[in-house]
Amino acid sequence: MTRVYNFSAGPAALPENVLREAQSEMLDYAGSGMSILEMSHRSATYQQVIDSTEATLRRLLNIPDTYRVLFLQGGATLQFAGIPLNLMRTKRAGYVVSGQFSGLAQREAQKYGTAEVLATSEDTHFDRIPDLNPVAERAASGELDYVHICQNNTIFGTMFHELPTCGDTPLVADVSSCFLSMPLDIERYGLIYAGAQKNAGPAGVTVVIVREDLIENGPALADICPTYMGYKLQASKGSMYNTPNTFGIYLCGKVFSWIEEQGGLAVIEKRNCAKAELLYELLGNSSLFHGTAQCASRSIANVTFRTNDPELDARFVAFARERGIEGVKGHRVVGGMRASIYNAVSMEAVKALAACMREFEETQA
Ligand SMILES: *Cc1c(COP(=O)(O)O)cnc(C)c1O
């Protein structure tokens, strides 16, 4: 068996130990005589799985007791609707549009009320996080139910290095591609959400962490909010209003424990920064490749780069594949290359990619 160096943006690399552990438990979970895949979500054994998954996540992120943790389905995409349905009490919210997903979130919210664009970097093809001063100003008016950002822009390779100041207006963040790649100060947010398949587990689980007071009165748009999407109900049912993604949550729990064994999120962040710096330094010194994100906005999770020639980009992707390096093709809306260097992508893998880039550059010299 050969495992490749996997730089996929999501679903993405998972820690090998996690996969092996799941493999060893596949036919008989914890002496139950059945697979976790075959087990009732109402069983005591499964209750323990979901409880310990949540407990580990709470330890990792220091989640205060005043926040609820939900494990839902439908991806980050379903939350684009779930957020306005639950939080748009005056039917007016603010959105920072810094890439593809934040644009989709804004347009989805526009179905349910007014989703004001407070700032955007569309004018420079989303190569940066926009100036956040207008966001702070508008948030201070107290006229917005929440301010929404996408904290790490998976496609464009940019991330927020500081959060907008929102005063009493809740900050809502799509953290799909930076979730668990660094510590987060949960109290800065009203709600964060993340599809698991980037950095936290398999596709099919979406983690929502929400401040309890924002949901205690039920969904803002209760008459049209699907029962399933009601955060208050899901919180009261322990994410089991209906059958959850039992296997996905179990695997997320294993990833959370793996992060804890690595030393927690501060250790993980250091590693991720070192991996990113190695690639950005190479890009800074390369005469063939260049990074596409402005320096001050560069992501530590998704490193986007290209040559000046789409044909050469395609040749590089093929060249990398021949060397066991997969998933470096850029997203179809931007082209070029993207190395997603999530937690389970080792420094060894990043060094292999760097060596491959240098080798390719030499063939072009
Ligand atoms: C991948 C991604 C999404 C979409 O996630 P789905 O789980 O496919 O709905 C949304 N936002 C961000 C930031 C992403 O990286």
Give the start-to-end residue ranges of the domains of the chain: 16-262, 264-363
- Ligand 1: centre distance to CA 34 (Å): 33
Indicate whether residue 101 lines ligand 1 (CB < 6 A): yes
- Ligand 1: centre distance to CA 10 (Å): 9
Q: Whose CA is nearest to atom 2 of ligand 1?
A: 176
Identity of the residue numbered 141: S
Indicate whether residue 127 lines ligand 1 (CB < 6 A): no
152 CA closest ligand 1 atom index: 13
pLDDT of 157 reads 98
Q: Whose CA is nearest to atom 12 of ligand 1?
A: 176
The residue whose CB lies within 8 Å of the most ligand 1 atoms, and thus the one to mutate among 101, 158, 341, is: 101
Distance separating alpha carbons of residues 203 and 144, to the nearest angstrom: 32
Q: What is the mean pLDDT of each run of 10 residues along the chain (365 residues)?
A: 95 98 98 98 98 98 98 98 98 98 98 98 98 96 97 98 97 98 98 98 98 98 98 98 98 98 98 98 97 98 97 98 97 96 98 98 91
Fold assignment, 264-363: Aspartate Aminotransferase, domain 1 (3.90.1150)
Q: How far is CA 200 from CA 25, 181, 184, 205, in A?
A: 19, 9, 14, 9
Distance separating alpha carbons of residues 3 and 121, to the nearest angstrom: 38
Indicate whether residue 181 lines ligand 1 (CB < 6 A): no
Cα torsion for 224, 240, 180, 171, to the nearest 10°?
30
pLDDT of 31 reads 96
Residue with tokens 């994100």: 293
Q: Which element (helix H / strand E) includes 337?
A: strand 337-340
Indicate whether residue 102 lines ligand 1 (CB < 6 A): no
pLDDT of 51 reads 98
Q: How far is CA 7 from CA 253, 302, 331, in A?
A: 22, 9, 12
pLDDT of 339 reads 98
pLDDT of 89 reads 98
- Ligand 1: centre distance to CA 54 (Å): 21
pLDDT of 342 reads 98
Question: What letter does residue 223 receive in the DSSP assignment?
Answer: T
- Ligand 1: centre distance to CA 33 (Å): 36
Closest by Cα among 176, 112, 175, 123 to 145: 112
Q: Whose CA is nearest to atom 3 of ligand 1?
A: 76
Indicate whether residue 82 lines ligand 1 (CB < 6 A): no
Q: What is the CATH number of domain 16-262?
A: 3.40.640.10
pLDDT of 365 reads 80
pLDDT of 1 reads 84
- Ligand 1: centre distance to CA 143 (Å): 28
